[in-house]
Amino acid sequence: MKKFLVPTLGLAIALMPGLGIAAEPEVVKVTKAGDCEATVGQEVQFVFRYDGFAGQVISGLEVAIDGKAVPKPEVVSRPDPKQVEVGVVTFVFRPDKPGTYRVSVTPTVGDVKGKPRQHVLKVVAGE
């Protein structure tokens, strides 16, 4: 599958042989606690920024959805290419059914837990 960006639309378009052109849903990036919305199958990224100079290098994330711990959450960590000791840690979630989810994400620094961030994610059915 080939992908290319259409700058005027801001959408990633995939060319799939035999199927024509299909638009991929945009990623929802959540950087603060509170309410957010997504569509079934849409990627939702719960983003935590860290600053190593302040002694806050996030080593992991603990995640609970509707009060149940997620045993192996998909967590992606990326350093900031422009700054030393700065980066982001992201929990990636792709809801597979509509509904309202209560998502709690707690950053960890070594063995120390940080302040949990509470989210209410409303997921609607796709078109």
Q: Tell me: the pLDDT tens digits for 32-70? A: 999 999 999 999 999 998 887 777 788 889 999 999 999
pLDDT attached to residue 10: 35
**Averaged pLDDT, 13-23:** 39
pLDDT attached to residue 25: 62
Q: Which of 67, 61, 60, 62 is nearest to 101 (CA)?
A: 67
Q: Can you list the domains of the chain with their CATH numbers?
A: 26-124 (2.60.40.2020)
d(CA 33, CA 110): 22
Question: pTM value?
Answer: 0.74
